[in-house]
Amino acid sequence: MKLQTLRIKVHVATLAAALCLVTPAWANDGRVGELLKALQDAEGTEARRIAGQIRSEWSKSGSAAMDMLLRRGRAALEDEDPGKAVEHLTALTDHAPDFAEGWAARGLAFYQQGEIMLALSDLERALALNPQHFGALQGVGAIMQQLDRPELAWRAYEAVLALYPENTQVRAAMESLETTVRGRDL
């Protein structure tokens, strides 16, 4: 149990440092930077469309073979086979360790397997490579919520909303945490 507590403390410290490093969305150059900036003011369907375009851009590794491993990993996740997804995504992270999307996807696969600490580690790696990865931040928030760390979940969710203000899932998660984090109005 002490080892588990130590691991959580290390991950919490790493997460806190990563959340401090989240830079404004428009700090990126290129197409993703333009899309992240547009996401700031987008609403409803338009926001979801832009977020999808960002995810699509993040999914381009620059290598057809690596993109294939990502597609296979995601397909295994859709087929509810996280073990197979981990196999494909581990091959991806081994061969393309600087590709944030591979780490984020494998983090999701580990999460679906119930391997929370492995998921958190991969999401942290994704955020180290891409601090604007709102999906990885959302995953960290969900894990912190599951680990009964509401303040850290709240901070992760705030970071998501700084990048993707229209994220309704994150807003709902924050509503469920609001009383715990902020207390009750008298």
Q: What CATH number corresponds to the domain at position 101?
A: 1.25.40
Token duo for residue 12: 């919490």
Within 10 angstroms of residue 125's Cβ, the number of other Cβ atoms is 21
pLDDT band at 29 (very low <50, low <70, confident <90, very high): low
Which has the closest alpha carbon to 117: 29, 41, 5? 5
* Measured CA distances, 16 to 110, 115, 137 (Å): 21, 21, 12
DSSP state, 98?
T
Exposure b/e, 156-170, CB count within 10 A at least 16 = b: bbebbbbbbbbbeeb
* Angle between helical axes of 134-146 and 116-129 (0-180°, round to 10): 150
Within 10 angstroms of residue 81's Cβ, the number of other Cβ atoms is 15
pLDDT digits (tens, 9 = 90+) for 106-162: 999 999 999 999 999 999 999 999 999 999 999 999 999 999 999 999 999 999 999
pLDDT at residue 171 tops 80:
yes
Residue 106: inside a domain, yes or no? Answer: yes
Residue 13: inside a domain, yes or no? Answer: no
Residue 19: inside a domain, yes or no? Answer: no
**Residues ≥6 apart with Cβ < 8 Å to 66:** 92, 95, 96, 99, 102
**Residues ≥6 apart with Cβ < 8 Å to 132:** 22, 23, 25, 28, 32, 36, 163
**So what's the pLDDT on residue 11?**
56
Residue 76: inside a domain, yes or no? Answer: yes
Residue 45: inside a domain, yes or no? Answer: no
Residue 88: inside a domain, yes or no? Answer: yes
Query: What does the chain come to in residues?
Result: 186
pLDDT at residue 178 tops 80:
yes
- At 149 the three-state DSSP class reads coil
Residue 6: inside a domain, yes or no? Answer: no
Cα 27 from chain centroid (whole Å): 19
Whole-prediction pTM value?
A: 0.83
Which has the closest alpha carbon to 75: 49, 105, 104? 105
Residue 75: inside a domain, yes or no? Answer: yes
**So what's the pLDDT on residue 99?**
97
pLDDT digits (tens, 9 = 90+) for 84-105: 999 999 999 999 999 999 999 9
Residue range 66-70: mean pLDDT, rounded: 97
Domain housing 95: 62-115
Residue range 28-39: mean pLDDT, rounded: 87
**So what's the pLDDT on residue 183?**
74
Total count of domains within the chain? 1
**So what's the pLDDT on residue 175?**
93
